[in-house]
């Protein structure tokens, strides 16, 4: 059978790096093909070449057996290639239909478009109201807009870039049904992910990339996740150690009746949140993005204090009235979700970034004057202890890769030996090796008696490292659950906002 | 075949330093052309304004005296500009500084003592601060745009000056001219170099520039201002509050402008007159940017802009160039500076059929492809060139 898509010897160089090195593989009609690899392995560059966003330096593409040159996404769409990006490009203040029309090369009249959109929604059993404003939709529903956009073009090849990173387990299952259905109709799917159990459940073939090269092609249903992971990182995986030994003592971080307004314009208000984190404990907060996680983190760190009610205490002493600096002095360390421009200043050196949050606890400032020597030494210590790949304390934060900058940021906080560490998305966009390292460092800190609060959309991560988990949805926090013997289905339902007994329902259906 | 601008991966430090030089050279060339087209002697105008003053020792004195207030104001403004706080009201703060010093002088006309001048200077600084406090208050309490409020206060300050000159502060023995009495010897700036025009404002400006440079690089307050300007969210995370930075920047900017004002009043003017505002507060904005918001650069840039004032005056007398020529040259300099600043972040490339060069720019056509979320880095970021950058990189 003629392959739907055939890549032969695709090579793409950027100054100083080869992003793709003679990559060849093919996707059959109706096949669900996984493209697997760590961040920086070259997956994104490769799909951008297929979708016409970038052009290969060498090598060629064939579509349905015909050699093609794709110069733009428009040409890709004309060939029958659709793509759903990881990050959506939607206008929050507009309706679903308006957003779809804006994304089309040549939109038909409104009424005709609505008819076609409804047809796609019905055919693939997708729950979505075309007239809703986007800012009222859940992440899963927003993704459906992007899928509908792609399906309206009747694609022969659909590229999905990390589609499940923000979905609840139920939404993932629903997405997979849609994709299987599409494949059964002959549409090929190129599925990009680093979540191995999903690939095992969905894909028939997997091409594994490392350092821009194809290192293996396999049938994921036959391989163990561990074997695939080791192919991906090119080394052996280490298990987390010391978690069982974690002793949990008295409550160190106590949050009671915390409420706060949402960040404008479409933020989520926090509603009466109460929990505590004990000494030696890792406490996880799961939830779909945009349900109040950022608000909760900035209220605890002290970055937002306007309109906040309720109390936050460390070791029984209230810190609610203290500034960011005061809270740090009281033993709190925090790492926000966004590294660039929030946890770190990209244009500044690592030594200066050490001053940003460690200046008072580590004595990097005296009498109002910066102690540059001490700052450089502290930054160098963090670089060494957390094996950060950087030229030294003078390297600009923006010159580090995402994983290395995250290691530096985490190290900067952990090495201050805080009594409470609050972290959001500790391993977002970080490769598997660095992620394991960061998780281990947090567990080690807990083992020394600190209380750790982890906010993450990655449920697997929370299950791996936390002792208890609670779920945040529309600004409310569920009861905490022990991770041992936890029901994934129940967590998924809570993430989708279903608190009653509607098994199998998700946020979209509830809303529709 | 043509030219196009392509984003650089990193800001070019070389271009950042070269841009002011390019801007000055472009100003000279364009100035010569423009004045030739206007029927004047273009090259002669450029020579008279930018070269002739440098060849005369007496003109150098003028240059330093004119550069001093520009440098003092610009150093103060640069603090705010670094933090993205846009105080456009230096002209008004300069006037208020001069008026506050004059107020003290008029109360102490009959007194003697070394304490009078320091008191005038203190009053001048406070006057400038008070004028700058208005936009700071409006911004922090009511979120009023400081660009507009500080700018509009300039006109209020000018009207206040006119009122005082024609009314309460008019010299009773001044033949009804709208001006104050001449200041006494104890109210006038002593000369730094005896026998010249160079008053102590000149060394004060140099000392302030050096101090500001040290504080911006080494103090935690300077660090706070740089972080707020580079990454406001990171500043909040670091425990630096926007409101306190606003107050700090406005008070420093206003205080320095007020200082420049009182030094001018007690120095070259020796009294207060309606002609006191000469646009230093606006020109200092050009000085601040020409000096790359770096206090040391500002000291140099102040000399360049002072040259346009001094040279403009001599060009009027020597070759009969209109007085507006000075303004034209200053405006061209700002224009060319803003234009060349583009090259700090972009590079000019030839568009050739070779596809490889244009690849990074092509991503712009697909917004979601290059979105800056922390997930997958865009391909150029995968290029992990570690580049040593000195602490001064941000300067």
pLDDT digits (tens, 9 = 90+) for A348-360: 999 999 999 999 8
- Spatial separation of the C-alpha atoms in residues A84 and A167, rounded to whole Å: 14
pLDDT value at A501 more than 70: no
Indicate if the pLDDT at residue B337 is higher than 80: yes
Let me know how long chain A is.
512
**Average of per-residue pLDDT across B252-269:** 96
In this structure, is residue A159 part of a structural domain? yes
CA distance A355 to chain B (A): 9
Residue A336 belongs to some domain of the structure: no
pLDDT of residue B392: 34
Are both A378 and A470 inside the same structural domain?
no
Query: Residue A126: pLDDT above 50?
Result: yes
Q: Are residues A98 and A227 in the same domain?
A: yes
Which of A34-43, A496-505, B383-392 is the most confident on average?
A34-43
Same domain? A162 vs A216: yes
pLDDT surpasses 80 at A404: yes
Percent of chain B clearing pLDDT 70 (strictly above):
88
HSE-CB for B269 with a 13 A CA cutoff: 24
Q: Which one of B371, B374, B383 has the shortest CB-CB distance to A429?
A: B374
Single residue among A209, A233, A257 that ends a domain in this structure: A233
pLDDT, residue A504, reads: 38
**Digit-coded pLDDT (tens) for A83-92:** 988 778 888 8
Co-location of A98 and A137 in the same domain: yes
Work out how many domains chain A is built from and give that number: 3
Residue A101 has pLDDT above 50, yes or no: yes
Q: Which of A14, A162, A348 sits opposite B380 (nearest CB)?
A: A14
A408 and A267 in one domain?
A: no
* Closest CB to B376 among A324, A328, A429: A429
pLDDT in tens, A418-465: 999 999 999 887 777 788 889 999 999 999 999 999 999 888 889 888
A68 shares a domain with A17: yes
CA distance B36 to chain A (A): 44
Listed ranges A261-265, A330-334, A386-390; the one with the highest mean pLDDT? A330-334
pLDDT value of position A476: 92
Indicate whether A42 belongs to any domain: yes
**Helices in A131-184 by DSSP H: which ranges?**
139-151, 169-184
Mean pLDDT of B188-207: 92
Helices (H) and strands (E) in chain B, counts: 15, 2
Q: Is the pLDDT of residue B136 over 90?
A: yes
Q: Where residue B363 falls among pLDDT bands split at 50, 70, 90?
A: very low
All residues of chain A having their beta carbon less than 8 Å from the beta carbon of residue B387 are 391, 395-396, 399
Question: Do both A224 and A249 map to the same domain?
Answer: no
Nearest Cα residue to B125 out of B280, B254, B255: B255
In a domain, A367, yes or no: yes
Q: What are the chain A neighbours of B220 within 8 Å (beta carbons)?
A: 355, 359, 365, 368-370
Q: Print the domain residue range for A209.
A: 5-233
Distance from CA of B145 to the nearest CA of A (A): 19
> What is the chain B residue with the closest CA to A42?
B379
pLDDT digits (tens, 9 = 90+) for A218-244: 998 988 888 888 888 777 766 666 555
Tell me what pLDDT residue A248 has: 65
Percent of chain A with pLDDT over 90: 50
CB-nearest partner of B375 from A54, A86, A401: A86
Are B375 and A429 in contact (CB < 8 Å)? yes
| CATH number of the domain that residue A302 is part of | 3.40.50.300
User: Residue B43 pLDDT more than 70?
Assistant: yes
Assess whether A43 and A140 both reside in one domain.
yes
Residue B323: what are its φ and ψ, rounded to 5°? -60, -30
- CA distances from residue A143 to A83, A84, A126 in whole angstroms, order as listed: 12, 8, 11
Whether residue A293 lies inside any domain: the answer is yes
Residue of A nearest to B11 (CA): A347
Which residue in B183, B204, B207 sits closest to B116, CA to CA? B183
Is the confidence at residue B354, as pLDDT, over 60?
no
The helix/strand/coil state of A11 is strand
Considering the domain architecture, whether residues A382 and A453 belong to the same structural domain is answered as no
Q: Model-level pTM?
A: 0.78
ipTM of the complex: 0.78
pLDDT tops 60 at residue B394:
no
Final residue before a domain boundary, out of A183, A199, A233? A233
Using a CB-CB cut-off of 8 Å, the residues of chain B touching A73 are 365-366
Domain final residue pick, A198, A216, A233: A233
- Considering only the beta carbons, identify the residue of A45, A341, A394 that sits closest to B389: A394
Mean pLDDT of chain A: 87
**Residue A463 neighbours by CB distance under 10 Å:** 15
How many angstroms separate the CA atoms of B246 and B234, rounded? 16
B17: which residues sit within 8 A by CB, 6+ positions away?
A: B292
Please tell me whether the peptide bond between A265 and the residue prior to it is cis, using omega within 30 degrees of 0: yes
Chain B closest-CA separation from residue A381 CA (Å): 18
- Kindly determine whether residue B231 and residue A341, on different chains, have CB atoms separated by under 8 Å: yes
Residues A324 and A358 occupy one common structural domain: no
Q: Do B376 and A357 touch (CB under 8 A)?
A: no
For residue B121, is pLDDT > 80?
Answer: yes
Nearest CA in chain A to B242: A303
Q: Is the pLDDT of residue B70 over 80?
A: yes
Region A243-271 average pLDDT? 81
H or E element, residue A299: helix A293-301
Which of A105-114, B18-27, B381-390 comes out lowest in average pLDDT? Answer: B381-390
pLDDT for residue B386: 32
pLDDT digits over A32-51, tens only?
Answer: 999 988 777 888 889 989 99
| The pLDDT of residue A386 | 92
Q: Where are the alpha helices (DSSP H) in A152-291?
A: 169-184, 196-202, 225-233
One domain, residues A107 and A223? yes
Q: What is the pLDDT of residues A166-216, one digit of tens each?
A: 778 888 888 899 999 999 999 999 998 877 888 888 999 999 998 889 998
Question: B383 and A328 in contact by Cβ < 8 A?
Answer: no
Q: Closest CB to A339: pick one of B218, B365, B374.
A: B374
CB contact under 8 A, B237 and A338: no
Residues A90 and A222 in one domain: yes
Average pLDDT over residues B258-287: 94
DSSP state of A165: T
> What's the full length of chain B, in residues?
395
| A400 within domain boundaries | yes
- Residues of chain A in contact with residue B84, where contact means CB-CB under 8 angstroms, are none
Q: Give tens-digit pLDDT for B76-106.
A: 999 999 999 999 999 999 999 999 999 999 9
Specify whether the CB–CB gap between B154 and B278 falls below 8 A: no
Q: Is the pLDDT of residue B358 over 60?
A: no
Give the closest residue to A34 by CA, choosing from A201, A171, A175.
A201
What's the start-to-end Cα distance of chain B, in Å?
Answer: 37
Q: What pLDDT does residue A424 have?
A: 93
Q: Rounded CA gap, A289 and A137, in Å?
A: 12
Best residue in A11, A38, A48 to probe B by mutation, most B CBs within 10 Å? Answer: A48
The mean per-residue pLDDT over the stretch B23-41 comes to 90
The answer to whether the Cβ–Cβ distance between B365 and A73 falls below 8 Å is: yes
At A275 the pLDDT is 95
Assigned domain for A351 exists: yes
Average pLDDT over residues A467-484: 91
Q: Are strands A468-473 and A481-482 parallel, antiparallel or unpaired?
A: antiparallel
Which residues on B lie below 8 Å from A14 (Cβ)?
379-380, 382-383
Of A339, A345, A389, the CB nearest to B230: A345
């Amino acid at each position: 059978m003629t392959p739907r898509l055939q890549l032969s010897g695709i090579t793409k160089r950027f100054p100083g790096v080869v992003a793709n090195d003679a990559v060849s593989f093919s996707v059959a009609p109706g096949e669900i093909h996984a493209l697997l690899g760590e961040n920086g392995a070259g997956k994104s560059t490769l799909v951008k070449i297929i979708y016409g966003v970038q052009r290969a330096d060498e090598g060629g593409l064939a579509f349905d057996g015909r050699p093609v040159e794709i110069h733009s996404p428009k040409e890709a769409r004309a060939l029958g290639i659709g793509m759903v990006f990881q990050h959506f490009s939607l206008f929050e203040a507009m309706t679903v239909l308006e957003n779809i029309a804006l994304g089309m090369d040549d939109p038909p009249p409104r009424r005709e478009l609505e008819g076609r959109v409804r047809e796609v929604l019905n055919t693939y059993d997708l729950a979505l109201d075309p007239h809703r404003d986007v800012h009222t939709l859940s992440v899963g529903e927003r993704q459906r807009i992007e899928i509908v956009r792609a399906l309206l073009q009747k694609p022969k090849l659909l590229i999905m870039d990390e589609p499940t990173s923000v979905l609840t387990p139920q939404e993932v299952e629903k997405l997979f049904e849609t994709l299987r259905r599409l494949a059964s109709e002959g549409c090929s799917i190129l599925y990009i992910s680093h979540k191995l159990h999903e690939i095992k459940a969905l894909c028939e073939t997997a091409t594994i990339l490392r350092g821009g090269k194809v290192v293996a092609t396999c049938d994921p249903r036959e391989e163990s996740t561990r074997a695939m992971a080791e192919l991906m990182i090119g080394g052996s995986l280490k298990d987390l150690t010391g978690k069982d030994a974690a002793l949990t003592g008295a409550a160190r971080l106590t949050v009671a009746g915390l409420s706060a307004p949402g960040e404008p314009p479409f933020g989520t208000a926090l509603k009466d949140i109460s929990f505590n984190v004990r000494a030696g404990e890792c406490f996880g907060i799961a939830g779909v993005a945009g349900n109040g996680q950022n608000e909760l983190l900035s209220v605890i760190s002290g970055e937002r204090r306007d309109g906040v009610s309720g109390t936050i205490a460390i070791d029984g002493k209230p810190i609610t009235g203290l500034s960011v600096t005061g809270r740090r002095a009281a033993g709190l360390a925090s790492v926000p979700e966004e590294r660039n421009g929030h946890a770190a200043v990209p244009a500044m050196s690592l030594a200066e970034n050490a001053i940003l949050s460690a200046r008072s606890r580590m004595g990097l400032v005296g009498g109002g004057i910066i102690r540059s020597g001490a700052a450089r030494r502290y930054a160098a210590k963090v670089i060494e202890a957390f094996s950060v790949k950087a030229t030294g304390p003078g390297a600009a934060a923006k010159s580090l890769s995402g994983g290395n900058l995250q290691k530096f940021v985490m190290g900067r906080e952990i090495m201050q030996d805080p009594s409470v560490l609050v972290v959001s998305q500790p391993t977002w966009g970080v490769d598997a090796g660095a992620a394991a390292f960061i998780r281990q460092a947090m567990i080690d800190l807990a083992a020394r008696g600190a209380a750790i609060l982890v906010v993450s959309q990655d449920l697997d991560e929370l299950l791996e490292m936390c002792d208890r988990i609670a779920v945040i949805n529309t600004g409310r926090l569920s009861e905490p659950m022990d991770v041992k013997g936890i029901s994934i289905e129940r967590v998924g339902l809570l993430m989708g906002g279903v608190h009653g007994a509607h098994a199998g329902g998700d946020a979209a259906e509830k809303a529709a | 075949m043509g030219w196009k601008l392509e984003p650089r991966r990193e800001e070019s430090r070389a271009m950042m330093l070269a841009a002011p030089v390019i801007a000055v050279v472009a100003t000279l060339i364009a100035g010569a052309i423009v004045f030739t087209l206007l029927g004047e002697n273009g090259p002669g105008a450029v020579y008279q304004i930018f070269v002739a003053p440098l060849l005369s020792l007496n003109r150098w004195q003028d240059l330093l005296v004119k550069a001093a207030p520009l440098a003092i104001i610009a150093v103060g403004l640069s603090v705010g500009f670094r933090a993205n706080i846009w105080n456009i009201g230096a002209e008004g703060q300069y006037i208020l500084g001069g008026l506050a010093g004059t107020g003290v002088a008029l109360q102490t006309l009959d007194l003697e003592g070394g304490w009078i001048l320091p008191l005038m200077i203190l009053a001048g600084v406070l006057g400038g601060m008070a004028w700058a406090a208005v936009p700071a208050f409006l911004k922090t309490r009511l979120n009023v745009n400081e660009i507009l409020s500080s700018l509009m206060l300039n006109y209020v300050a000018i009207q206040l000056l006119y009122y005082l000159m024609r009314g309460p502060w008019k010299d009773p023995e001044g033949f009804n001219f709208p001006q104050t009495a001449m200041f006494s010897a104890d109210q006038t700036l002593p000369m730094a170099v005896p026998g010249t025009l160079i008053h102590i404002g000149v060394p004060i400006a140099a000392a302030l520039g050096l101090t500001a440079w040290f504080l911006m690089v080494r103090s935690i307050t300077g660090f706070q201002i740089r972080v707020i300007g580079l990454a406001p969210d990171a500043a909040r995370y670091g425990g630096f509050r926007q409101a306190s930075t606003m107050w700090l920047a406005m008070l420093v900017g206003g205080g320095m402008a007020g200082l420049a004002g009182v030094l001018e009043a007690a120095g070259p003017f020796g009294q207060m007159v309606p002609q006191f505002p000469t646009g230093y507060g606006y020109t200092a904005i050009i000085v601040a940017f020409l000096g790359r918001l770096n206090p040391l650069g500002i000291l140099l840039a102040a000399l360049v802009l002072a040259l346009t004032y001094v040279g403009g005056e001599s060009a009027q007398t020597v070759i009969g160039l209109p007085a507006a020529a000075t303004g034209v040259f200053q405006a061209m300099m700002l224009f060319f500076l803003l234009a060349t600043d583009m090259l700090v972040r972009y590079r000019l490339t030839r568009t050739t059929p070779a596809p490889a060069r244009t690849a990074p720019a092509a991503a712009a056509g697909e917004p979601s492809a290059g979105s800056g979320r922390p997930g997958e880095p865009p391909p150029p970021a995968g290029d992990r060139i570690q580049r040593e950058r000195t602490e001064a990189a941000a300067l």
